Chain A
């Protein structure tokens, strides 16, 4: 696989939220997302937020007990999705 196609890797996972995706979890998500090269999106219903935008993530209004989709695009997409899913799963 060539270098350029490797950078187009897309990885997704679905996370059940144990807590509302409000200020503190959103802050933690942004901090975690910044460690990866990949672009990560958080999809909730018909809305999508970039995981680097704390206000956009908060404005999704994602509630405890519902699911969000994490979608990463980039060279470290799989690691990014795995790490961010853990952040959300451990949110309080």
Chain B
């Protein structure tokens, strides 16, 4: 029993304790903010430690309680889990600072922190799940709990978005449960094993049903193409810091779960044999293109970014569906980098909305005068998302593209490049508008600079710095690239 076994539990419990504290003790605003930030930082520290531990190979599993005997709630840390867990926790640090500023005059700020911290704990449970049932528990619970954040504003729009969200997520959860039960029935186990499980009892038809259930179930979260409907509504409705989390890591949870299921439950060999991967690739590719096109035509800033998320998630799913280690590494790096880039964009856009009251692309002109730092941040992050070297977005795309080329998947390559062009098309107008002259200037009235130095700006700035660092020093940091390559090697190595 090594001490490392207990670190994931500590990382999960820290935000839960913080959440309970804020809920039960009812601290004042300053103390509450301090507790929330403290809990997130502890979780972040734990995840950082786990990333180092996972660098030396997967940790032994820690069985917690017998949930449905013989299956236990189990925690285990491997490179994939550490990569995802660290991404979640790392994005939560700026997000929590952002939230503290954003919620300055909000009556429900305690509820926000409580639920956001609970979501963090549950997402870490997903990341460090040692078997499919544990993953399912974390996944279903945070899906349900995050409803409270989507409807945080209590406006009719927010409720409509929240109910739409539930209408997608609950059937999705039901499907994942069906898939999980079939897996357990067929394999007699739900533990993750590189290369997939043995399935003595499963026929090809049954396994295909299980695969379809799991992919559709998790695909609801992963913004897989026909299941993406809730995303463009949920993002504008949610509070800005949570929009960042939603797009950055919560959507990625679905993709993460699909990777887990594909590589460690079914295994590449069996998936090839079943011939189901094209059926994942086609909706993913459609998502990349269709969502990209819709983003170009969208005026509402947050909705445009939400469409962009759907498109970008399509990249990762598409790359994972190639069953090729290099493309998988690219997908994982892209998931991590996208988390910071898109999270940062939402933080910045949230700050713009909160300070300047600007919600639409057409209202952006003059932003560079009013909020110059924010405008720079948006520009950097947009460039990173498009994939300009040497920024972070480029690294993931480079691995994706070279992986697809190695696999000889030319249609995939085409889609990836088309997606990048679309990203440039929907982000360039944003940048252009932000830097163009305001209408007031033409009419002669001066534009005041009103850019408060607060958590919102700091959060956006930090993610922009990360987007640069993870691009320029991709090889040196060991995260996310090093960890992703290691995870991909471990996942593919078992086959």
A binds B: no
Q: Footprint of B on A, CB under 8 Å? A: none
Q: Footprint of A on B, CB under 8 Å? A: none
